Amino acid sequence: MTNQNILVTGGAGYIGSHACKALKAAGFVPVTYDNCSTGWQDAVKFGPFARGDLLDRQRLAEVFEEYQPAAVMHFAALSQVGESMREPGRYWRENVTGALNLVEAAVAANCLDFVFSSTCATYGDQDHVVLNEDSAQLPINAYGASKKAIEDILKDFAASDGLRHVIFRYFNVAGADPDAEVGELHQPETHLIPLLLDAVDGKREALTIFGTDYDTPDGTCIRDYVHVCDLVDAHVLGLNWLKDGGEDRVFNLGTGDGFSVREVVDQSSAVTNRAVPIVEGDRRPGDCTKLVSGSNRAVNELGWKPTRSNMETMIRDAWRWHQNTDGHYQK
């Protein structure tokens, strides 16, 4: 890889901005491609910014021409499970058509190394099944279905054009940059930990727990939380894997430890030393009962060493970001 430019779609978003920081630290130049529909221009701190939309094929071609990236890291996507159930058309158009445009632009520019941000939501609700990379993909929401479709696109272009790819299926991403240069900010916010910290802080009245009648020990959903900094470290390893001639590969990114919503609430209360006001509500459509990774492939094959993915550190880092910045970038 002579050119160190990496095109990072969604580089203005939560995970993408942390990826840009990690790429810069590893000696790459992260070029953010983002329409700022859900991201923040002020989160683009670690390399050039090319504003653009994945549905704009001409702009995509221009940016490949201008920066000649050596590889693509594709984060840009709509990513809310609940919203995807209400507006599936947007998920299919923006996620799937957007990714198809990106892949075609990359292939046309002969940029053939591609790292993709997929999700454990592609597995669906497979209770009591260990979720490893060979598990069946049976998504139960349009978000998961859209990500699975993109995985299929990558496989097809690998066969037709030699697109080399690493697919990461994330479990639940949490935490923030320990320096609080970037952090998690969605508007509107829908994710558990930032909402919970808002409730701790009095910015919202209470956290609503979505469903207390699931078939789990305390009745609330179980998720596998992974620190955003560990997650993006895996992406840099994935990039180097491709650079070193590694085969097309899928990796789960999770810790294998499941936390229920109530356990996250309790830990947050302990870390912040404040009560978390909660209300018990109905189930949220599209939510799986339990999503926990059952794979160590990223550790064994990529040499991934997560160091911050314990619940206390994730909440502590998210809380620091929340307090230092009041959770805001300027738009």
Distance CA 9, CA 187 (A): 19
Q: How far is the CB of 260 from ligand UFG (least distance, A)?
A: 8
Looking at 4, 41, 132, 190, which residue binds ligand UFG (CB under 6 A)? 190
Looking at 182, 192, 228, 239, which residue binds ligand UFG (CB under 6 A)? 192
Point out the residue whose Cβ comes nearest to ligand UFG: 221
CA distances from 161 to 35, 98, 319 (A): 27, 19, 45
Question: Does residue 149 touch ligand UFG according to CB under 6 A?
Answer: no
32 in Cβ contact with 47 (< 8 Å): yes
Q: How far is the CB of 43 from ligand UFG (least distance, A)?
A: 18
Looking at 284, 294, 299, 310, which residue binds ligand UFG (CB under 6 A)? 284
Q: How far is the CB of 50 from ligand UFG (least distance, A)?
A: 24
CA distances from 154 to 117, 165, 222 (A): 12, 7, 30
Question: Does residue 150 touch ligand UFG according to CB under 6 A?
Answer: no
User: How many residues belong to the site for ligand UFG (CB under 6 A)?
Assistant: 20
Q: How far is the CB of 161 from ligand UFG (least distance, A)?
A: 28
Which residues lie across from 208 on neighbouring strands?
A: 279
Question: Does residue 292 touch ligand UFG according to CB under 6 A?
Answer: no
Q: Edge-to-edge, what's the strand order for the sheet holding 249-253? A: 49-51, 29-34, 5-9, 71-74, 113-119, 164-170, 249-253
Question: Does residue 119 touch ligand UFG according to CB under 6 A?
Answer: yes
The DSSP letter of residue 42 is G
Q: How far is the CB of 108 from ligand UFG (least distance, A)?
A: 29
Please tell me which residue in 14, 123, 143, 225 is annotated as part of the active site. 143
Q: At a CB cut-off of 8 Å and minimum separation 6, what does 37 contact?
A: none
Q: How many CB atoms lie within 10 A of CB 61?
A: 15
Residue 165 host element (H or E): strand 164-170
Query: Quick one: 168 exposed, middle or buried, by C-beta within 10 A (0-12, 13-18, 19+)?
Result: buried
Looking at 120, 166, 234, 311, which residue binds ligand UFG (CB under 6 A)? 120
Looking at 20, 31, 70, 291, which residue binds ligand UFG (CB under 6 A)? 291
Q: Is 143 a catalytic residue?
A: yes
Q: In the numeric block, which tokens belong to residue 282? A: 């109905």
Distance CA 150, CA 96 (A): 6
**Catalytic positions:** 143
Footprint of ligand UFG (CB under 6 A)? 79, 81, 119-121, 172, 190-192, 195, 207-210, 221, 223, 261, 284, 287, 291
